[in-house]
Copies of this chain bind each other. A is one copy, B any other.
Amino acid sequence: MRKSPQQQRSKQMVNTLLEATAKCIALRGLDNTSTPAIAEIAGVSVGSLYQYFDGKDALLAALLNKLALDVGTALKHIPAREGVTLRTLIEQAIDMGFSLLNSSDGLYLELVRNWHRLPTEQVADVLQQHFSETARMYFIKHFQQYPIVDLQVRLFIIINSTLFTMVRLASQQHESLLSEKSVRNGLVNMIVGYLEQG
C-alpha cells in the first residue's frame, strides 16, 4: 500500500484518478483500460498514478468501493415510508437499477458484466448488508405474521436474478425485441410472487 492521502492535494488527486478510471472504463471498456490511458485522461503522469495506487487493481478496487458507497447511499434514499407496499419498493429498486445501468455512459453496465474479474468482495459486502438489513426490517415491520424463511437464500436469488437480467437486457438494448418496461414488470411480478410465497 502506498501512503494514504493525507493532504488536500492528495485527496483531489485520488479523486481525479478514480474519475479518470471510471471514464476510461465507460468509454473504452475494461479491457482497453490501461494505466497509461487512465493517467492521460486524468491529465496526470503515470508516475503519479503509482504514487497513489499500488497499480491497476488497487485503482479498480478503490473505484468499486467508492461506487458501492454511492450506490448504498442512493439505495438508502429509496423512501420506505409507512405503508409502502412491497411491490412499490421493488419497483423502485429496479428502476433505480436500470437508471444506474444506463447512466455514466454505461460504467455500471461494464462493471457488472465484468464482476468476476474485479475485486468485488467489499462491494458485495456493502450491498449485501444493505439489502439484508432493509429486507429484514421491512418484513419485521409488515409481515411478522408469516415471516420469511430462508431470507439469505431468497435475497441471493432475487438480487442476482434481477441484476443480471437487467444487465443482459441493457447489453442488447438496441437490438432487443424486449422492452425495458416489460422486463421490469416481469421481474417485479416474479420477485413479489416469490417473496410472498410461504
Contacts and interface: CB of A to CB of B under 8 A. Distances in A.
Contacts of A182: 150, 153
A194 to B, nearest CB: 4
Main secondary structure of the interface of A (DSSP, over half): helix
A156 B173 CA distance: 13
A182 B150 CA distance: 8
A1 interface: no
A79 interface: no
Nearest to A198: B189
Contacts of A157: 161, 165, 183, 186-187, 190
Contacts of A152: 177-178
Contact of A154 (B116, B161, B171, B186): B186
Interface in A97-142: 113-114, 116-117
A194 B183 contact: no
B194 A153 contact: no
A164 interface: yes
